[in-house]
Every structure is written in C-alpha cells, then in structure tokens.
Structure 1
C-alpha cells in the first residue's frame, strides 16, 4: 500500500573556486513534508469521493503499519485546500465565461471553534449547462442561504441560469440574468401527489410531462440546432396542450391545486428551454453533482470547522477537515 521513496541529490564542487552545487529538492505540495502528491491525492479522494472520514483512514494506515494521526491527515487536507485555490479561481473564471449555468445549494452543518452546537450553512454548486463543451463544477461555501451569496459568486455574469424555484435566485433575475426553470421539480409535485392519493389529474400531468422527457432522451445526442428543431416539431405542441389542460382543470383538493399552481405560475421559465437547443429541460445535471454531499451524510455527520470551511469547499465535499 505504501512505499518509501529515496531521493538522491548529487553534489558537485568546483575545483577552481570551491563552489558547492547540489541538485534542488523536488517540489512538494507541503513544504519539507514527507507526503508525496500521490499520497495526498489518495487521502483527499478517499475522504471526499468515497466518504471515508479521517479517523477511519487513520485506522487503515495503522493496520498497514504506518502511524498517521488524524490530526496530521487533517493538516494535510487543509494545506491541500489552500494549494488548490488557484485551480478553484481558474475554474470559476472558466465557468463564468459560459452563457448557460446550472446552480443548486445543499445544507451542511457547521461547528464553530469553541462552540458545542452546530448551525446550518450551505454549499452552492455551479456548473456549465449540460450541453456545453466545458465540464466543470465549483462549490462555494457560505454561512447562509441568502440570495446575496449567489449574486456575489456570479458577480457581473449575465447569462441564462438553470435553477429551482428557490426565492434566493430572484434577485439575480432582476439584474438581467434569465431564469430557466426545472421541469423535474414541476413533475415531482404531481408524482408525490399521485403516489399518496392516486390522483387522476396528477396521472394525466405525469403522462404529458413524460412525453416531453421521452423527446429529450431522443435529443440528447443531437446538435443544438437539431435539438431545437425536434422541440419545435414535437415538444412545443405537447407543452401547449399541457398548459391549456392545466388551466382548464378544476382541482379536487388542495394538493392538486398546489401542484397545478406551481407549474402555471412558472410556466414561462419551465418552457423556456423550448426556445434554445442549448438549454436543458431541468436542473438534474447540477443536482447530480451535489448529490454525493448528501450521500456522505449517511456515513458520517458533516461538521465544518468555521476557520477551515473554505478549504473544504475547494475540495468539493461538505464533511470537511472539522469532521475527522
């Protein structure tokens, strides 16, 4: 599992001036540290991608005959977070150069130094549109869920934002950003109602929305122009029929009224994808990028030390160095 690398640095001396010359020390992520970049990468991947907290890694290393305290591992993680800052900045710059972005946020628990109680903070995920050439995601840690945090991250960006209906994004739309709604959220309202009450109206809505998704599956590998043509020919008539049908319904309960109201109030944003072949039908792309954070909660309670939280955000996950 582990090996020791021996670096031999040659020394030379000038016979005339007696000047001593020695090969430089190989560059290390941690100055004067013994951990190689490969070992550091292993610790990070196992922690953030495989959801294995540092105390478990400590035990694994111990079984292999290597004594590595979790405090040491935590320091490594923190330093790596700082070292990754230029990469984060470059990714953010590249993402904000895209015309279409997805955004979503998820809660994490924060433990401030000296405090015995946690409070809720958030990780926001931003990624280019699913049909864009750039594949990247940046996670931004914030102490709250205010829409001001999204505005701060996006700064002067003025493109099309795919997101759910969280009110925090509304201020962005007032500043010129175009809202692209999430059909998956609209569908979920009817799905949950159908599961609980077997509503006929919900079933009809699900069938029509299902037709829209079936067409998107056909369009997934098409060019934006071809995708736009398919939507104009097939998706738009279905959406128009669905809209008229929703408007004509007489709700038979508060649940179906809320489901219909959700879609009707947001119909413009929900169907804006029909106008541009580069746009997706929903926000599932970024939700899939943020789902591993929730998955990790099944294995370890995520606690983020306030003084180290930004480092953890750089490393993509919420169970940070404060959760060892």
Structure 2
C-alpha cells in the first residue's frame, strides 16, 4: 500500500494535503532509514557472531595444543587415562634431601662430647647385582686374633658380605702384534706370518676401539668431539678427523649387512612405517634444511626375525616410500600422512593395503580430555581401551586363536564404537576439536578395522615409534647431519644396531665380533653375520 497515493483520495484542502504528504514522506523516509539500520545491525551481529564462533574454535584449538605441549614438556609421555603427573623437579628434590641429610650428619658428628643417636635411614629393598659381573673380593680381618676383653683366641662363626657396584671409565690398551721373520740361508728367502686382516688395513684402531666409537656416536648419540675429550682424559690423542675417517670406512664396510637386512624385511607381508625430521647442513648457506629418516619395521605378531630398517632421504615425499618398497606387496601400517596415499590407490586391490593406527586415534581423544575434561573424549577413551584390553588378552595366542578372539570380541566392539561415533558426530558442532577427533576416526575407519579381520595384523604403530624415539631424542646432542651421504651412512649403522637391540643382542658385543670376522668372511654366508636371533641364524645356515 502506498500512503501518498491513498492520500490523494482523501477530501482535504490542498494545503492540508501538502502538509500531510510531507509528514508521511518524512515518516516513510525515516522508516526506510530505520529498516536499513536494522539490516546493517543484523549483518554486523551475524558477522560478530561468526567472529566469536571462529574465536571460540581457535581458543579451543589453542587450548588443546597448549595442553598437549604442557603434557609433553612437564608430564609423562604415557597416554594412560589418569596418569600421575611427574614433577619436573623430582630429581632435584631427591638430591637436595640427600644433601641435607648428609649436612645434618656432619653437624651431628662435629658436636664433641655429645652422644647423638643417628636415626636409622629407611632403605628400600635393593635389587641384587647381576651375577655375570666380575667380583673383586676385599677381606677385612680384625686387627688381632684374640679377644679384647679376655685375651682368648677368636673363632670364626660366619661372614657378613656386602656388595658395592663400581665402574671403570673407558680403558685404553694396546695390542702389540709381533711377527718374527725367519730366513732360509739355502733359498735366501724370508718367511713371516701374514698380517692379520682388518676392516681398515694398516689402521691404528683395533675392532674394540672401532666398536667403542660407533656405539658412542650412534647408540649414546655422542658427537665425535666428546669422544675425543673422553680419550684425552686418558692421555690418548684421537683427533676428530681420525675418528671421522674410522666412522666413514666402517660405515662402508657394514653397508652390505644393512642392505641384506632390508632384503629380509621386504620378505614379510606386513610392515610398520614412520618418519622423523632431521636437520641437514646446507653447504654454502650456513644454515640447515629439513631431511627425513624413514623407518620400516617388521611385524611382531608374525613368526620371523625382528628387523628395523632406516632409510635416509632428503625429503618427506611419498616417492621415497615407493622407492624403498619397490614391488613389495602387503599391509602397511602408517599414520595419516598424505605421502602414503598414492601407495593405497585401489583400496583392497592395491599392492599396498593401508592399516590404520588406533594409537593415533586414541591420542586425539586423549589430548582433548586432557585439555578440557571432555566427557565425550572420556567415553571414547574407555571404548578404545576395551579394544586394547582384548589385544592384551590375545598377546600370547597364535594367529588362528587371536583371529577367533578378535572375531568374537573386537569386531562387535568396533561396530558399537562406530555407531556411537556416528551418533555423537551428529550432535557435535563443526570445526571444533571434538568434531576433528571424531572425523579423524571415521575418515580412516576401513583402515582401522582391518586388523580385526585377521589374527596377525597389529592394532597400532607403536613399535616403530618406540624404535625411532631414541634417535629423535639423540638428535638434540648432534643437532644436524653434515651431508646426505652422512645421513645414509647413519641410517645403515642405525639399522644394524637397532635390529641387534630388537633381537636381544648387545650391540657393542655384536659389532665388535662382526668387525673382527668381516674382512675374511665369504659373501655367500653374509646372512650369518646379521644381528638376528640365534635361532633364525641357524635356520639360515641350514638353507
């Protein structure tokens, strides 16, 4: 309805119509301005609401990230549902308490003429010292063999034995090889025993010293300058350039063993895979660039040797994984990194079939619960905990029995968990940490449930993460890799030493023995030198 048009039909004099028309026009203009103001305010309100919602989501994400960082920095790394928070100053407190007790004892001893009864220190049950350690006996006899009161001879009635643990620092010694030379006067020839073969011909270092250097660098993560300082304390001069030369030459000698381990690893049909960033020196720029140490691990739920293989690459592209795996076919357990996705193209018909890691799924909900005590996250953790409880029950079963257990218990639990996630997601707002945690599980669901269809597939990727963790921590000592060649050499040596640990071998003892045998060992029997379990080595010998 147009008020001005209706005004023309009214029976008013012209002046009154003009005045009324002016008032109506003013009111219409005011109403239009008010409507525009209202629309503007509504738009601003919607924008502010959207901004507030975005900020709320950002605050939630930052709170979650902060809680995760605090847990990693100050708390235990375990993802138990209700862990006891470890105090960062616990070690200092124990040290200070012991120092205070010692000072009190000293003050008590200094009080001359006073009889002070020292309280008996509480002692926890001490573990017995290992039987394989050599014992050095110290016998403490009384100053005399007669009684101090009556003068009669003392009779031995028993012994009080206490043991203390001691250690010697690196002990250097010299092997002197003496080769007598014998002459035949008739033939005019000289005969002498041949020079013992060595990994480094004519080198200064014996196999024990070479093993000490490699264990220090790649197991204890000590830079060579620290090993140089340790030797200097024993008045032994070992320059860094000499140590570096030994590491380079031994690395080349050991590389065929690492390559052979990689071959054995790829004979299995299930692998774990993970990667960790490593700083690599960028010559000329004075800076470092990011490279990656890829790790591939055998499946503990299947028979066969336990093997960990490291592959150093200049980047994180999925092409590096494809290059390492080659024509390998089987189940590959990985996280949600996109570089692996090309390997899984084709789903169950692909050469590589994806396995999801339940530990990563659980971590999303654990961080959420730690950040804000989310009841939804707690419920998810309890449901996932049921899956792990079933795995703990079947840990010592064979593959067929474990398959039956999973069919009877794991698969129904997984179906119930999926239904619960779907229903919960409908009631959860988009964009928040809760929605992201649920979406992460639902997006990877086909890969996450594959393990329950068999008895040999693992539920998570924890074993390879545990194997790669010492290197991730150790790089805080050596800071960066000097070159790509150095990275590949480190990967080969870490492959051998890491596999030795997995098979219950002492890496130092295995390395020393192998370096002694390697110079004259036939290549056709190279498998016998690998750091694998003795029973598997015997199997290889029979083949």
TM-score over 0.5 (shorter chain): yes
Q: Deviations over 1:218-241 (max 9, x none)?
A: 221211111111111111111110
Q: Aligned equivalents of 1:13 and 1:222: distance in 2?
A: 69
Higher helix residue share: 2
Instruction: State yes or no: 1:259 paired with 2:437.
Output: yes
Deviation per residue, 1:174-209 (Å, 9 max, x gap): 252111110000111111111112111111110000
Q: Residue deviations 1:1-53, cap 9 Å, x none?
A: 01100112243445553343322211211121011111111111111111221
CA contact (8 A) 2:281 2:287 kept: yes
The partner residue of 1:227 within 393, 402, 407 is 402
3-state SS of the aligned residue for 1:297?
Answer: helix
Structure 1: which 5+ runs fail to align?
318-324
- Counterpart check, 1:163 vs 2:337: no
The residue that corresponds to 2:229 in the other structure is 59
Using structure 1 for the length normalisation, give the TM-score: 0.93
| CA contact 1:113–1:306 (8 Å) conserved in 2 | no
Q: Find the structure with the greater CA-based Rg.
A: 2
Matching residue of 1:39:
209
Match of 1:217 in 2: 392
Q: Secondary structure of 2:380's match?
A: helix
Within the alignment, does 1:122 sit opposite 2:292 as a pair? yes
Contact 1:29 1:36 survives alignment (8 Å): no
The match for 1:73 is: 243
1:303 deviates by 3.0
2:270 pairs with 72, 80, 100, which one?
100
Q: Which residue of 2 aligns with 1:297?
A: 475
More strand by share: 1
1:320 corresponding residue in structure 2: none
Q: Partner residue of 1:91?
A: 261
1:114-263 aligned within 5 A: 114-132=284-302, 133-174=304-345, 175-249=350-424, 250-252=427-429, 254-263=432-441
Partner residue in 2 for 1:321: none
Distance 2:301 2:284 in 1: 46
Structure 2, unpaired ranges of 5+: 1-170, 496-543
Give the alignment of 1:12-27 within 5 angstroms: 12-14=182-184, 16-27=186-197
197-206 or 127-136: bigger deviation: 127-136
Hey, what's the Cα distance between the residues in 1 that align with 2:328 and 2:263? 10
Secondary structure at the aligned position of 2:482 is classed as strand
How many residues are paired up? 317
The more displaced of 300-309 and 117-126 is 300-309
Shift of 1:102: 0.8
Q: CA deviation at 1:293?
A: 1.1
SS in 2 for 1:304: coil
Deviations 1:69-123 (A, max 9, x none): 1221122111111111101110010001111111110000000333301000000
**For the Cα contact (< 8 Å) 1:48–1:315, is it kept in 2?**
yes
Which residue number in structure 2 is paired with residue 322 of structure 1? Answer: none
CA RMSD of aligned residues (A): 1.6
Cα deviation per residue 1:149-170 (whole Å; 9 max; x = unaligned)? 0000000001111111111111
| 8 A Cα contact 2:299 2:458, kept in partner | yes
Take 1:315 and 1:57, find their aligned partners in 2: how far apart are those partners? 18
Equivalent position SS for 2:477: coil
- In 2, Cα distance between equivalents of 1:129 and 1:304: 33
Q: C-alpha separation between the residues in 1 aligned to 2:344 and 2:201?
A: 45
